[in-house]
Structure 1
Amino acid sequence: MTQEPGTTPTPLHWKVVIDCADPQSQADFWAAALHYEVEDNNALIERLLELGALPREATVEFHARLAFRDLVAVRHPDDPYDKDTGTGLGRRLLFQRVPEEKTVKNRLHLDLHAAVGEREAEVERLEGLGASVLRRVREPSGEWALMADPEGNEFCVQ
């Protein structure tokens, strides 16, 4: 597909996909951590089941609704979403079940920005949700806490 000279390309829609062992637990943690919402795909799943396009074993009950067994997303509560599918159309994290365990440091991580003077309170809140502090960093460029989510994925709180 070629672009007409002088036109601005349409930005691509994206989401961050995080490999994990338990998508539902990760979605719950990150929804609480970010104050996001877990996507509700129940209507889409029911349609796919009725059409025979999805086997029942590919689903689980999650928060008293049908969910995909191997993927769950969380979305920013202010962003638009498709009401027919429950799929977010803005800022999203998708948690995808994979068979292998995490073995090395993440090459990509999230930086969470606490309100001024609230970093320690935010770190404590996240620890209460199941995160752990790996180390506290104090450098000329700034201070932050390096943390890990319940499956060991690193993130920072600034």
Structure 2
Amino acid sequence: MACRISELVIDSRDPERLAAFWCDVLGYAVLGRDEDGVEIGPAEGFGGLQPTIVFTPADRPKAGKLRLHIDVNPTDRDQEAELERLLAVGARPADVGQTGEETWHVLADPEGNEFCLLRRRLSG
């Protein structure tokens, strides 16, 4: 038997704002709120194949390049249409030294956490 990632925990200055952003990006819903933060996940709730994400309040989230980042894949549209959608919900382009030849886009969420939009590889 092996382990499975059940949740990711991300320190944030504004857990509500990041939860709303990532709900828009991933099609997730808020699953719970308490003094420890906001947890989001698939609408069907806990225990599915996709991990939930917990945004915990932190006065000083770690600055600089994180050792872990999220990659996302569009599931119901092409990459360019998804890029437009992500920019419209609050993502912004991030420069990490790309050459312009990459097949992915590097973006940042409202608190500057980098993530990549890959080409469509997954089905909904």
What TM-score, normalized to structure 2?
0.79
Runs of 4+ in 1 over 4 A off after TM superposition: none
* Structure index of larger Rg: 1
- Alignment size in residue pairs: 113
Q: What do residues 106-125 of structure 1 show as CA deviations (whole Å, max 9, x unaligned)? A: 21111111248711111111
**Hey, what does 2:101 align to over in structure 1?**
138
The CA distance in 1 between the partners of 2:88 and 2:68, in whole Å, is: 24
In 2 relative to 1, CA 103–11 (structure 1 residues): closer, same or farther, beyond 3 Å? Answer: closer
Matched, 1:105 2:97: no
Normalized per residue, the structure richer in helix is: 1
Gaps of 5+ in 1: 1-8, 42-66, 82-87
Matched, 1:76 2:76: no
**Hey, what does 2:12 align to over in structure 1?**
20
Pairing partner for 1:89 from 1, 25, 47: 47
Deviation at 1:10, TM superposition (A): 5.7
In 2 relative to 1, CA 13–157 (structure 1 residues): closer, same or farther, beyond 3 Å? Answer: closer
Gaps of 5+ in 2: 119-124
Share of identical aligned residues, percent? 35
Deviation at 1:134, TM superposition (A): 1.3
RMSD: 2.2
In 2 relative to 1, CA 119–18 (structure 1 residues): closer, same or farther, beyond 3 Å? Answer: same
**Hey, what does 2:110 align to over in structure 1?**
150
In 2 relative to 1, CA 117–150 (structure 1 residues): closer, same or farther, beyond 3 Å? Answer: same
The CA distance in 2 between the partners of 1:109 and 1:97, in whole Å, is: 19
In 2 relative to 1, CA 117–33 (structure 1 residues): closer, same or farther, beyond 3 Å? Answer: closer
Matched, 1:34 2:26: yes
Deviation at 1:138, TM superposition (A): 2.1
